[in-house]
Amino acid sequence: MGLFRYHRNITTENIAGSEKMGMAGSATSSLAMIACCLHHVSDLLPAVGFVIATSSFLTEYKNTIIIIGLLANVAEAYTL
């Protein structure tokens, strides 16, 4: 847009109607692109929530999980 205005020597006080439409179209397109990017970022939020929930669960029950793992290893050692 800036190169077009420089090329046509249009001042900021004397903007033609078609120039205003071009600027409005550019702003609308930019806003639509940002909205689309935010939409795809929001697609990832459930995955982030799952990771947080899983890590919270593992942190809460880490001692129990370690004991179960140790008992499984002891049981495996005696079955061999």
pTM confidence score: 0.40
d(CA 25, CA 35): 15
Burial class (CB in 10 A: 0-12, 13-18, 19+), 5: middle
- pLDDT score at 63: 92
- pLDDT score at 16: 57
pLDDT, one tens digit for every residue, the chain (80 residues): 556 666 556 555 555 555 555 555 677 777 778 888 877 777 887 888 888 888 988 899 999 999 999 999 999 888 76
- pLDDT score at 19: 58
List the structure tokens of 65: 């999980």
Give whole-number Cα distances, 74 to 36, 56, 67, 68, 80, in Å.
54, 27, 10, 10, 10
Residue 67 DSSP code = H
Instruction: Determine the residue type at 73.
Output: N
